[in-house]
Structure formats: structure tokens, C-alpha cells
Structure 1
Amino acid sequence: MTSSATVCVIIAAKNAEATIGRAVASALREKRVSEVVVVDDGSQDATAQASLEADDATGRLHILRLDRNHGPAYARNRAIEHSKAPLIAILDADDFFLDGRFDALIEGEDWDFVADNIVFIDSRGAHGTEPHVPRFEPAPRFLDVEGFVEGNISQRGASRGEIGFLKPVMRRAFLDANGLRYDERLRLGEDYDLYARALLKGARYKVVHGCGYGAVVRPDSLSGKHRTDDLKRLYEADLAMLSGPLPATARTMLSRHERHVRGRYELRHFLDVKASRGLARAGIHALLRPAALPAIVGGIFADKLDARRARQRPVSDEPAPPRYLLPARIGAQR
């Protein structure tokens, strides 16, 4: 550890025994990292032990154990309370940092949040050496709340690539000065909600296109599973932001996001009623909610179309090639 070590890496983990070691090791090898806080969020496997086995004996690794699962927002807030470093970085338990991620990323004083590109790795090909990632031109830019929220409105048929997947480094001083923490009621979209509220508070959110974060794409990822109620809480988070004074453009975009998430909720709620009470009762439920009918009908049609397309795609056991969250141009290579 050097005098420039100013980053706390927070890893919230549940049943991550198979992947947590790689995540911890990738964080500890970064010379700018002064603390790595793993929060074992009610795991039923050896997540905590696997974290310890990746320790490098520098005294930077801290493991907090929760007696039951509370969700990532709660776990990350406990880690923020426990840690002291002025900069906070989030790492998911099945992901990893590319070597040297923080060397250039955290330089300068012109940001409150700063994020870099993400390389998505198919889990079927993620067991070997670290992927070769080109050195992209940084092309720094700043996100405003409108662009950020718009980038979180997903589209069917598009690759998973919402701006909300960015993993920014955050200045603790900005979070503290504005009373910002993760909303512990959320188990879906907790990152989106925190970043949107920060932008509404005037956060300078800088994005560079160089790549320093590796995300492993798994069909059974916990982030890909959520309850119907999780969607309800997410659109309610939008409504909470909309309840205050906002610029007209921000209000318009937040309203779009709220309608988008509410539509997903209405479809999931309809399918839940159908599964538990039958098609007839689900039909009555839908007719009693006329405002929800477009989302339900459109969602069912789109689901059937997606399923048909999936059946027509050739099946391959080969891992998909790496892809990047942000478009980027290759710069001068060392």
C-alpha cells in the first residue's frame, strides 16, 4: 500500500463462494486501494472463508457478516459506515477489476463520481486468464441527469447496456454533504436511484471510455432475478424524486422512466395473478386496471416474440465474445 491509496472497495456478496476470491484478489492488487470491505449478506455457503483465502496479509481486507440477507443496498451502506477512505468503489462479487484500473481513473478534482468502460465476459469463457482489453481513448465527458435517466430505459432486443451498469468511484465527501446513501428498500435499481439522486443534487458525473471493470455475464445471476414487488419499489423511487422541484427536462425523463418501470411491474403482476389464480381471474384483474392494459398486452406480445426469436437462434456451446458497455475508439498502444 502506498501513500496514494485512497479507495475503499465494497463487495456485497451472497452465496458467492465460487467467484468472490477473484473479486477480492483483483481489488487487493490495486495500489490505490486502502480498504476492501466484503459484506457477507446472509450467505449459506463459504463466501466469507473464500474471501479470507484471497487475503494478501496487508491488513486491508475486512469482512462483515450479516446474520440474514438484507439486499445489496443495506450491505453497501453498512460497508460505507465501516470504512474511512475518501473514495468509494463498488465491485460485484462475481466481477473483477482490470489491472491498474484506478491509476488514471481517479486523477483530477473535476468530478464527484467517475466511471470507466465495462467489458462483459461470458461466464463460459471467464475461467482462464484476464481478457486482453485494448487501450481505448479516454474521451472524457459528463453525464447530466437527463442523459443518465434516458440511458437506463432498456429496450427489448438490445444488449444489456444501460448506463446504470456503470460502476463509478464516488467521493465520500459529496455523499456525506448531501445526505446520500443507498435506499435500503430497493433490491433492484439501487445504483440507478443513488446516482440519479446525486445528479439532482448537482453531482459532477464524469465518464471515461477506457476500460477497467470486468463484468461476468451469468444466466443465473442474482441481478437478473427480481420479485414483482421490487419493480413496484423502483417506480415508487422515481415518484419520490418527481415529488420535488425539478427542471422540466429532468421531470420529463424521470416520468418516462417511471412509466417504463411501472409497465414492467403491471405485466409481472398480471402474470403472477395468472399463475396463482388462473387466466380468467387474471383477465378480470387486467380489465379492472384499464390504464395497465397497454403494458400488459404489449408485454405479452413482446415476450412471445422474444421467445420465438430465441428458438430460431442457433444454439452454441461456445462463449460469446467480449463486448463493451460504451462505444470506444482504440488509442495509442504502449
Structure 2
Amino acid sequence: MGSAVTIIMPVFNCAPYLPETLESVIAQSHDNWTLLAIDDKSSDDSASIVARYAATDSRIRLLHHTEQKGAAAARNTGLAAAQTPWIAFLDADDIWTETKLATQLSWLERQGYRFGATSYGVIDGDGRPLATRRVPAQIDYKQLLRGNPIGTSTVMIHQSALNGVRFPDLRRRQDYALWLHLAQRGLSCHGIDTPLTLYRRRPDALSAAKLPSALATRHVYQTLPNLSRLGALKAYSTYLWRTGLKHLGWVDY
């Protein structure tokens, strides 16, 4: 069966995409998993869709927030409930290839790594391919300050690597903030340059708003422990430069 994995999936108003996302989990060749879907008080049919799948697959559990708290709090709710050594993250509108868990888990365990990510494809709301984002072989703190090549839905991490660290309470870029906190403590992320995830770029998503996202990234740098004001300014300037190159297609992340 292989090592047990808990998949943590925040859910908020993703009804049109949830069936495809859930089917991609159920289709995994590595079947020793538990999916914790945390509904963040959706106003559409998202919770009922997850509940229907949970009724036919005992590996799927639906948790509820009684008030909307955001993706960071939803992921932290999942982390608090997780009881397996390995954690994987998946957003409710993204898709995994059939071998995502098996490929990444076996590779991480074989190499003795505790934190990993993969390359990923970018699709639009209708599933049409837009781009491919490549993950470096190793991402340390210095490299991560230049920009975030780690797609959240590609991440697998061991509980011992988290060591109780949780997503900060930020509306945007809370995933990037967590990776930076872990990297500051000396933890590197190791990448598999194979697209094992499809990231859905939706026009209504928080991350699609370029100016708010840029300001959120600046806030992440400003609130990062042990990073000077000058260091934060340098990191933000590099981020803006690389973001421009990415939109021109000159860099892969």
C-alpha cells in the first residue's frame, strides 16, 4: 500500500470544478490516502458535492467551517486533523495526474527528502492548456526569496518537516509565506521536473488579481522574521522583475 498520505483541500464555491478534482484523487494509483475537504462556508453546492463522494468512498471526509475563514485557516484545520506522516495539498479546482502521489512519494522516500514539489501545467477555467511551470531541482531560502516556483497543489511534505508550523493568517500568498518560514529554518524543497498537476487559472480567483497579489507578496516579505527592511525591498524588487519576465514567457516560474 505504501505510506499513508493525508490530502488537505480547502473548498469554497468550486462546484463546477469539484467533480473533476475529486475524480483525479480517486483515480490515484497510490490508494493509501485520506482526503480532508474543508468547506469554508460555501454558498454554492460545493459541500453537497463533496458529501456525495464521501458517501461512496470512506477515504473522503468533509469538515465544515461555521464561518468563512479563508484558505489558510482551512488548510490549518486540515493539518490539525491529519494523522498520517505525509501531507499533500490540493486546491479544489486543480487536477492531479493518476501517478502524482505514487511518483512523488516513492521519490521523496527513496531520496530521504521531507519536502517536495513538482512541475505543473496551467489551464484556464475550461481546461484548455496555457503554460507549463517548471520547478527547480532544489529550492532553498535564497532562491525562494526571488520568487515562488512551488505550486501548492504539487506539494508533499512530511509532518516532521512542518514541526507544528502552520499557514499564517493572510488572505493571499499564505502558501508562499509558509514555504519561506520553513526555508528560513533550513528546509529545502526538492522538485521533480515532471508536470503531475494541472493548476486552473480562473479569472475570479484571488491570485488572478495582479496588483493585490503583488501587494500581498510585499506584505509577506515585510512580515517575514529575520528579514531586514533592505532585504525585503531587494526581494520584492526581484519578485516584480521576475513576474514581468514570467508574463513575457522568458522564465518558467
TM over 0.5: yes
Q: Which has the higher strand share?
A: 2
1:239 aligns with 2:222: yes
Q: Is contact 2:5–2:87 with CA below 8 Å preserved after alignment?
A: yes
1:175 aligns with 2:162: yes
> Counterpart of 1:11?
9
Per-residue deviation, 1:245: 7.2
Summarize the Cα distance change of 1:326–1:105 in structure 2 as closer, same or farther, 3 Å threshold: farther
Summarize the Cα distance change of 1:8–1:25 in structure 2 as closer, same or farther, 3 Å threshold: same
Per-residue deviation, 1:244: 2.2
Q: Is contact 2:147–2:238 with CA below 8 Å preserved after alignment?
A: no
- The DSSP-based 3-state class of the residue aligned with 1:216 is strand
> Counterpart of 1:157?
none
Q: Is contact 2:119–2:135 with CA below 8 Å preserved after alignment?
A: no
> Counterpart of 1:113?
115
> Counterpart of 2:198?
214
The CA deviation string for residues 228-257 of structure 1, in whole angstroms up to 9 with x for no partner, is: 6x866653432332x5278xxxx9764423
| Aligned counterpart in structure 1 of residue 182 of structure 2, from 188, 198, 201 | 198
Per-residue deviation, 1:227: 9.1
- The DSSP-based 3-state class of the residue aligned with 1:39 is strand
> Counterpart of 1:309?
none
TM-score, length of structure 2 as denominator length: 0.81
> Counterpart of 1:224?
208
Equivalent positions of 1:1-334 (< 5 A) are: 2=1, 4-30=2-28, 31-55=30-54, 57-107=56-106, 108-125=110-127, 141-152=137-148, 163-165=149-151, 167-176=154-163, 179-184=164-169, 186-225=170-209, 234-241=217-224, 243-244=225-226, 254-258=232-236, 326=252
The code of the aligned residue for 2:200 comes to V
Per-residue deviation, 1:225: 4.3
Q: Is contact 1:9–1:33 with CA below 8 Å preserved after alignment?
A: no
Q: Distance in 2 between matches of 1:36 and 1:208?
A: 23
Q: Distance in 2 between matches of 1:245 and 1:116?
A: 27
The code of the aligned residue for 1:124 comes to D
The code of the aligned residue for 1:116 comes to T
- Note the residue ranges of structure 2 that are not aligned, 5 or more in a row: none
The code of the aligned residue for 1:49 comes to S
Per-residue deviation, 1:149: 1.9
Q: Distance in 2 between matches of 1:74 and 1:18?
A: 23
- Note the residue ranges of structure 1 that are not aligned, 5 or more in a row: 132-137, 153-162, 264-301, 307-322, 328-334
- State the superposition RMSD in angstroms: 3.3
The code of the aligned residue for 1:219 comes to P
Q: Distance in 2 between matches of 1:139 and 1:21?
A: 27
Q: Is contact 2:118–2:151 with CA below 8 Å preserved after alignment?
A: no
Q: Is contact 1:239–1:258 with CA below 8 Å preserved after alignment?
A: no
Bigger mean CA offset, 192-201 vs 97-106: 97-106
Per-residue deviation, 1:33: 4.2
Per-residue deviation, 1:198: 0.5
The code of the aligned residue for 1:103 comes to A
Q: Which has the larger radius of gyration?
A: 1
Summarize the Cα distance change of 1:226–1:36 in structure 2 as closer, same or farther, 3 Å threshold: farther
Q: Is contact 2:89–2:156 with CA below 8 Å preserved after alignment?
A: yes
- The DSSP-based 3-state class of the residue aligned with 2:99 is coil
Per-residue deviation, 1:54: 3.0
The CA deviation string for residues 10-43 of structure 1, in whole angstroms up to 9 with x for no partner, is: 1101111111122122112222442101011010
